[in-house]
């Protein structure tokens, strides 16, 4: 890669993946980017982007994405509008198992 390209990539805030661990974190996003180019419509693309954002945010906050979405989608219909922010991944707490 030429010096100009390296400078340009660094200028835009991107870094070269230096390790296999870095590359493995980026890989699902890069593969998905190609797969999600054709969503059928703009509306479907926006919906897909919203769901993927929630899933990635749940992962970044240490939650199991399936458990998070299952709980949120269960509570969403009865959640008051003023309390919707409690369902966001950074504020959500997993339900405790009652025994």
Per-residue pLDDT of the chain (99 residues; tens, 9 = 90+): 454 444 444 444 555 556 666 667 767 766 766 666 677 888 888 888 888 888 889 998 999 999 999 999 999 999 999 999 999 999 999 888 764
Quote the domain boundaries for residue 68: 53-99
* In-domain check, residue 73: yes
* In-domain check, residue 18: no
* In-domain check, residue 62: yes
* In-domain check, residue 93: yes
User: pLDDT value at position 4?
Assistant: 46
pTM: 0.60
User: pLDDT value at position 40?
Assistant: 80
Alpha helix positions (H), 12-83 = 20-35, 42-60, 65-75
CA distances from residue 4 to 10, 15, 17 in whole angstroms, order as listed = 10, 14, 18
User: pLDDT value at position 48?
Assistant: 83
* In-domain check, residue 27: no
Question: How many structural domains compose the chain?
Answer: 1
* In-domain check, residue 33: no
User: pLDDT value at position 32?
Assistant: 67
User: pLDDT value at position 43?
Assistant: 86
* In-domain check, residue 68: yes
d(CA 60, CA 66): 14
* In-domain check, residue 43: no
């Amino acid at each position: 890669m030429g010096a100009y390209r390296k400078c340009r990539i660094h200028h835009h805030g991107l870094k070269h993946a230096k390790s296999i661990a870095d590359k493995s974190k980026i890989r699902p996003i890069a593969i998905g980017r190609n797969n999600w180019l054709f969503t059928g419509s703009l509306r479907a693309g926006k919906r897909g982007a919203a769901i993927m954002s929630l899933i990635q945010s749940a992962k970044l906050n240490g939650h199991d994405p399936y458990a998070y979405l299952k709980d949120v989608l269960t509570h969403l219909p009865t959640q008051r509008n003023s309390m919707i922010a409690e369902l966001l991944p950074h504020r959500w707490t997993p339900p405790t198992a009652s025994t």
